[in-house]
Amino acid sequence: MKISVIGSGYVGLVTGACLAEIGHEVVCTDNDAEKIKILEAGGMPIYEPGLEKVIPKVHKEGRLSFRSNPADAVTFGEAIFICVGTPPLPNGDADLSAIDHVARLIATEARSPKLVVEKSTVPAQTGQELKRALSVYGRKTGVTFRVASNPEFLREGTALGDFLHPDRIVVGVEDEIAEQQLKEIYRPVLERKFKCPVHASGCLDGPAPAWVVTTINSAELIKHASNSFLALKISYANMVADLAERLGADIGEVTRAMGLDPRIGPSFLSAGLGFGGFCLPKDLQAFVHLAERSGVDFSLLREAEKINKKRIDHFFEKMRGALWVVRGKQIGVLGLAFKPNTDDIRFSPAIELVNRLISEGARVCAFDPEAMDRARAILPEIQYAKTAYEAAQDAEALLIATEWPEFGKLDWERIRNAMARPLILDGRNLLSASKMKAEGFEYRSFGRQD
Ligand code: UDX
């Protein structure tokens, strides 16, 4: 099928690349002309593992192309995926102006029937507004529009795998035609009939994804409710960690056993600096606002947000407890991205931590395998190291702020010898407390008896 993707950020590029990979003809566009220029020249405007292989491949094979003029993309696709950003407004609501802009563009430029698919995370009932905008602004052309909601559940760092091997594909539709069109689009994924560009083998042997057909309102709600639940789970684990610390228990042991209960599940129970990124914090906020506007008191989620905001304070207290005075001290920071395997620093707890260190007068030297270029743009005042070892040089404390797997495999003797004081504060419980002690470090983490 001919498919257009409007918005070439993380979600748009992954969606476009994967749809092309499974056989569709795809055009991606973005209002940032620079981004399109980079893509056309074979470059990658973002870091997402696997994308650097898939995009050039499908581009070369002629199934993926880029347009700087969004109107061309509207003309091209039978289905148009809206993947523009819905950033938070100062009051926490989702800013839907980009969706509104795209709706008008589609309405005025389309000359043939279109299936308009919302992929961006939006509050429930946005689909109804989208439908209204398409019919109001498209009234002169008489084109038929079908609107559908197809929320993405892509995690940065594993987004390609998540797209190609989802647990479920949720489609919120109003009629059978829209459902069938979406089924056609996802058929290779549903039937697992494609060559996986991410995994060597075995990935297509598992159960087929669930095909979940709902109303548009339900599909929209599923996305917000899912992300908010994940946030809730993390904050819960963080509170249990604080309690474990005081009661002489070990959070790793506790959550491992909790997670074995299938009603709870093992994921999103890792304690530490809390959740960040462009989705969880903003979706949680937008969901709380949506609930309030709808007359539902969702203070449970407000608590989850409050707990998350306090994680950095809590970490700082640990650091102060170990270091005493922070001002003037050399601190090494490992990790700047909001989680491993991405260069994304938006709403990253690690960045917040560095800002706190600066405001408290510490001298910071940071290292991240992928996120340093982005960090430099917003944090020019700190030093950036070429390696983790350089970040540890002369440091009075080494902070682990993002759990990049490679930080778990460092040569600790070398780190210890480089540091002014062998103190490690592990904000992500990445390392083993007993191993670090055996390596000669003072070691602090969350929810454990360090
Ligand atoms: C999230 C959702 O998982 C995904 O389904 C949705 O489509 C987009 O938003 P993402 O933002 O990529 O994905 O990150 P995610 O893997 O969910 O992690 C979010 C944050 O939670 C990170 O800062 C991570 O470090 C933190 N986290 C995650 C924890 O602190 N503990 C955990 O146990 C899991």
The atom number, within ligand 1, closest to the CA of 428 reads: 30
Q: How far is CA 57 from its chain centroid?
A: 24
CB within 8 Å of 432: residues ≥ 6 apart: none
Token look-up 């994804």 returns 209
Name which residue sits closest to atom 31 of ligand 1, judged by CA: 270
Ligand 1 geometric centre to CA of 72 (Å): 34
H or E element at residue 268: none
Residue 2: its H or E element: strand 2-6
For the segment 206-210, the average pLDDT, to the nearest whole number, is 91
330-334 and 363-367 strand pairing: parallel
Q: Is 80 exceeded by the pLDDT of residue 127? A: yes
Question: How many whole angstroms separate alpha carbon 21 and alpha carbon 195?
Answer: 8
Ligand 1 atom 18, closest CA: 275
Atom of ligand 1 minimally distant from the CA of 278: 11
Beta-bridge mates of residue 6: 29, 82
Give dist(CA 76, CA 73) in Å, integer: 5
Order of strands, edge to edge, in the sheet holding 210-214? 64-67, 25-29, 2-6, 79-82, 114-118, 145-149, 168-172, 210-214
Cα 275 to Cα 256: distance, rounded to the nearest angstrom: 19
| pLDDT at position 435 | 95
Span(s) in the chain for CATH 1.10.1040.10:
223-309
Q: What is the pLDDT of residues 367-399, one digit of tens each?
A: 999 999 999 999 999 999 999 999 999 999 999
CA distance 401 to 272: 9
What is the model's pTM?
A: 0.93
What is the spatial order of strands in the sheet that 397-400 belongs to? 383-384, 363-367, 330-334, 397-400, 423-426, 442-444
3 state DSSP class of 382: coil
pLDDT exceeds 90 at position 199 = no
φ, ψ (nearest 5 deg) of residue 186: -95, 0
- The partner residues of 425 in beta bridges, in order of sequence, read 399, 444
Protein residue with least CA distance to atom 7, ligand 1: 153
Residue nearest (by alpha carbon) to ligand 1 atom 34 = 268
Expressed in angstroms, the distance from the first to the final Cα of the chain is 57
The residue nearest atom 5 of ligand 1, judged by CA position, is 153
Superfamily of domain 311-444: NAD(P)-binding Rossmann-like Domain (3.40.50.720)
Radius of gyration of the chain (CA): 23
Half-sphere exposure of 6 (CA within 13 A, CB side): 28
Centre of ligand 1 from the C-alpha of residue 299, in Å: 21
How many residues does the structure list for the chain?
450
Paired with 145 in beta bridges are: 114
What's residue 30's pLDDT? 96
Query: Can you tell me the mean pLDDT for 131-141?
Result: 93
Mutate to test the pocket of ligand 1, among 279, 287, 342 (most ligand atoms within 8 A of CB): 279
If you average pLDDT over every residue of the chain, what do you get? 95
CA 266 / ligand 1 centre spacing (Å) = 14
Residue identifier of the C-alpha nearest atom 10 of ligand 1 = 155
Counting atoms of ligand 1 from 1, which one is nearest the CA of 348? 23
Q: Domain 223-309 belongs to what topology?
A: N-(1-d-carboxylethyl)-l-norvaline Dehydrogenase; domain 2 (1.10.1040)
Of 33-37, 92-96, 161-165, the poorest mean pLDDT is in 92-96
Structure tokens at 327: 């001002």
Q: Tell me, what's the pLDDT at 51?
A: 95
**What integer pLDDT is reported at residue 205 of this predicted model?**
83
Ligand 1 atom closest to residue 157's alpha carbon, by position in its atom list = 12
Ligand 1, pocket residues at CB < 6 Å: 152-156, 227, 230, 234, 268-270, 272, 274-277, 279-280, 338-339
How is residue 64 written in tokens? 């993926």
Nearest to 142 by CA among 118, 117, 114: 114
Listed in sequence order, the residues at least 6 apart from 45 whose beta carbon sits closer than 8 Å to its beta carbon are 8, 13, 35, 38, 39
| Average pLDDT of span 265-273 | 97
SS (H, E, C) 50-76: CHHHHHHHHHHCCCEEEECCHHHHHHH
Q: What's the burial of 206, exposed, middle or buried (CB within 10 Å: 0-12/13-18/19+)?
A: exposed
Distance of CA 154 from the midpoint of ligand 1 (Å): 10
Catalytic residues: 279
How buried is residue 54: exposed, middle or buried, by Cβ count under 10 Å (0-12/13-18/19+)? buried
Supply the CATH classification number for the domain 2-214.
3.40.50.720
Say if residue 450's pLDDT is above 80.
no
75: Cα within 13 Å, side-chain hemisphere: 6
**Residue pLDDT, tens place only, 416-429:** 999 999 999 999 99
Per-residue pLDDT band for 88 (boundaries 50, 70, 90) equals confident
Atom of ligand 1 nearest to the CA of 153: 7
- The CA distance from 286 to 88, in Å, is 7
Q: Where in the chain is the domain with CATH 3.40.50.720?
A: 2-214, 311-444
